[in-house]
A and B are shown apart, each in its own frame.
Chain A
Amino acid sequence: MGQLLTRQLRSIRFVVAALSLALAGCRAAPSSNKGSNARELLVSVRTEPRNFTRLGAREEATDLVALLLHAGLVRINRTTDEVEPWLAESWSVSADERQFTIKLRPNLQFSDGHALTADDVVFSFEASYAVNDTMKVGGKPLAVKAVDEATVIVTFPQPFAPGMRLLDNLVILPRHKLESALKNGTLAKAWGVSTPPSDLVGAGPFVLASYQPGQRLVFDRNPRYWRRDARGEVLPYLDRLTLDVIPDENTQLLRMQSGETDATGSALPAESYASLKQGATAGKIRLYDLGAGLYPDMLWFNLKPGAFAGDPRASWIQRDELRQAISLAVDRKTFLDTVFLGAGVPMFGPVSPANKRWHWAGTPETPHDPERARQLLASIGITPSNPARFTIVTMKGRPSFERAVTVIRDELKKIGVTVDTAALEGNALIQEILVVRKYDAAYFNFSLSDTDPAMSPDFWTSAGSEHIWNPEQKTPAAPWEARIDELYRQQVGAVQDHERKRLFNEIQKIFVEHQPIVYFAAPRVFVASSMRVGNAAPSVVPPRLLWSPDTLTIAAPTEK
């Protein structure tokens, strides 16, 4: 029997040796995308687009794909925050600043070779109004008229300070491809993700070559793209851009660190900084520290009138003093160190210091003052004999959210307030906030569509759908809300920049006084890429590294 077992063990050794050789062979082979001569950028994304027009859905993956496939009349430069001519070559504005005469670049073409004209611009406005409200001002559409093949007149329904900036929201879609869908009322469904790539037509730097649901989207350069660099070289520099769908964040990072992808489509969490820093020090990746983020996480209470009717907490839970006390009770340094591992800046108002143009320099810094917090609580009847208790809902699976509510809970415990926390799955949380609206308080994050406050009426004004503490009010629920609405209206219509700034500072002042949202810190934004990526000018605004995909370069692939 011993001899037999010896033979068996010999066989096992042989199998192990064969496996080792196979693994060694694997190591010798190129590990991923190397071996092709194409200048290909490999990016991992966590989610997939919902459609290919950006009309039916707005989220990160859909926006990114729209940026690759389509182009607008203007573009906001994400590093300078200025409006740049894009498909529009130039424009002039009327004396009342309501009418813009826009000249298109000559010889523009869609990716199928069809000419892009003023008629397509008019169609794109029509398409947008058929599906959503993003291109409306004061709830009214813009009047758009094609004067000739290359000239469009856009008239705003009322003075609108950002002017051409609004047009960054509009992608120019081909009338010859989508007009029938508009007429049939099926535009929201048109160019869904089941559309064959060959049917998609755009004026962006890339065309969709293939889409494997759940796996990857491959984009090839658009040979009819209009843009050239300063030396006259045709853009984009890349031959191909591939978005690999990698739902797991850790796997995304590991793939980049191992050289299988060149970048991630989203910002990196603070927890990954240490390992990325190691990779950067070892010369394997490039790590960009973009400074404080634009959109900090936020804590707010359900301020809908009547939300706590019949609840004994109704006398204090919607009071300004409670939120002011919370702001005083939470030590922002502890918050920063625990939640963002020290990588961030404290926040005291609604606009991040990263938004240099609109941040109010006079925002008062709330001190860490638990004693004052107790006094404020006592003023609304919260005492040791009548303690406060409420629940904060947040999103499950986001470690920074869960750490944040834990810090808030611990800090408020010190002033006698009991906080229960409930981490909900993302969709359930949105349902709770948006539809059910029976929560006490929430901790979450919202990204606004632009740094210019005039572009986010839904957040700032009481009738807005993103006015998250009490959305879509028929009339302002409080005098201070009515005052913000009025200041906002004036600010949007003001022509002079300094006047807009003054008005918006006043809005921020009221906001800080009443704290409908309590801010604690804005995390620093980190972005990383492989060493092969060149010409990158990352921005704190999504899609951070890819906002200018036509100018990105990639080093020639090398065989290992």
Chain B
Amino acid sequence: MIGYISRRILFALVLVFAVSSASMVLARLAPGDYVTATLGAGARREQIDAERARLGLNRSFGAQYRDWLAGAVRFDFGRSMQYDRPVTDLIPESALNTGILAITALVVATLIGLPLGVVTGTRPNGVVPSAIRGVSLVLLSMPPLLTSLLLVFLAARSGWLPVGGMTSSGGGGLADVLRHMVVPVAALALPLAAMFERLQSQAMSETIGQPYVIATYGRGVPLSRVIWRDALKNALRPVASVYGLVVGTLLSGSFAVETVTAWPGIGQLMLGALRARDVYLVAGCAAAGSIFLALGTLLSDVALAWVDPRSTG
């Protein structure tokens, strides 16, 4: 098991390096840079050259990448040109906000999706399971961007919930943050819950017909225990195996959701950095995103190993 986890950690490190490097390269090679974005189209050439020299953007790409890489191995991702602060100062707060959003969405999606999957998987017919399946299919077909737009629209129309942001001006406090979380969390969690429901339902319907389940039930064990203890554990495997991928989905989804709902997370920070061509911040955000992804994959692998020890082989 230790060897298995070590291999996964090594893979995670390679992933972080590859993603952040690729982001840095792509952001740097894209047309335009921070100076053209800041000074606009009316700037004089000498003004542009002076600003590029000040920010070190006039150096060759190879030199910039080498310096960045040398810093990155010490977790120094350079200085954000846009915010004039070290990237490592800017990332933690945004990463925490994205983490709060993603973990809450994952928990909510799990709490909704898994029980509903058990319901639909153990009861193929009936109005309620059919309705759940229908809603799941609708939610699955909606990308997070569309879900968040719809929810933002509903929030604005009804006045029930804040439309965007993380806190009210002059507000704060847990209750305020929780109210602001409802829309983005729902936008991320609902399609995910639908996916869990579908996967769990499929797995449950297969497991419930297994001989050991029927035998256990035949021995007089109450049905609820058969389903929720014996059958569920085996039926969790498909869901556990996709948790790592789900973290990736959450990150890409949160990119859109954070933009629409003005949630100050990594997605919004990275979008602003991309718009401003703040290459070091882009690379830092990508590194943070890949760390999330690597951690998610690692946790998923560990969970899968716990549910099904054969998977570590």
Please determine whether B259 and A248 come into contact, CB atoms closer than 8 angstroms.
yes
Known: A254-B153, A425-B31. 13 other contacts (CB 8 A): A8-B115, A32-B168, A33-B170, A40-B169, A42-B169, A56-B38, A240-B170, A248-B260, A251-B152, A257-B156, A424-B31, A428-B31, A434-B41
Binds B, one of A210-218, A360-368, A402-410: A210-218
Nearest CB in chain B: distance from A48 CB, A: 7
- A510–B41 Cα gap in the complex (Å)? 24
A 210-263 contacts with B by CB, 8 A: 212-216, 218, 240, 242, 244-248, 250-251, 254-255, 257-260
B residues neighboring A (CB under 8 Å)? 30-33, 36-45, 47-48, 51, 54, 82-85, 90, 94, 115-116, 118-119, 122-123, 128, 149, 152-153, 155-166, 168-171, 175, 179, 182, 223-224, 227, 259-262, 264, 268-269, 271-272, 275, 277
Contact of A8 among B31, B118, B152 (CB under 8 A): B118
Please determine whether B162 and A260 come into contact, CB atoms closer than 8 angstroms.
yes
Contact of A33 among B156, B164, B171 (CB under 8 A): B171
* Closest residue of B by beta carbon distance from A243: B169
- A51–B39 Cα gap in the complex (Å)? 12
Contact of B41 among A27, A47, A216, A444 (CB under 8 A): A444
A 507-527 contacts with B by CB, 8 A: none
Please determine whether A12 and B116 come into contact, CB atoms closer than 8 angstroms.
yes
Show 6 A/B contacts (Cβ-Cβ < 8 Å), sorted by A.
A40-B170, A132-B47, A213-B90, A242-B169, A247-B259, A247-B268
Are A29 and B179 CB-contacts (below 8 A) given A8-B119, A247-B272? yes
Nearest CB in chain B: distance from A193 CB, A: 6
Are A427 and B160 CB-contacts (below 8 A) given A193-B84, A251-B152, A472-B44? no
- A48–B81 Cα gap in the complex (Å)? 13
A5-47 CB mask vs B (1 if < 8 Å, else 0) is: 1011101100000000001001101011100101010100001
Please determine whether A31 and B40 come into contact, CB atoms closer than 8 angstroms.
no
Contact of A215 among B158, B165, B227 (CB under 8 A): B165
Q: Which B residues touch A432, using CB under 8 A?
A: 31
Please determine whether A5 and B122 come into contact, CB atoms closer than 8 angstroms.
yes
Please determine whether A216 and B119 come into contact, CB atoms closer than 8 angstroms.
no
**What range describes how many residues of A lie at the interface?**
35 or more
- A133–B47 Cα gap in the complex (Å)? 9
Please determine whether A12 and B262 come into contact, CB atoms closer than 8 angstroms.
no
- A123–B309 Cα gap in the complex (Å)? 73
Please determine whether B162 and A32 come into contact, CB atoms closer than 8 angstroms.
yes
Please determine whether B259 and A5 come into contact, CB atoms closer than 8 angstroms.
no
Does A64 sit within 8 A of B, measured CB to CB? no
* Closest residue of A by beta carbon distance from B166: A215
Please determine whether B36 and A435 come into contact, CB atoms closer than 8 angstroms.
yes
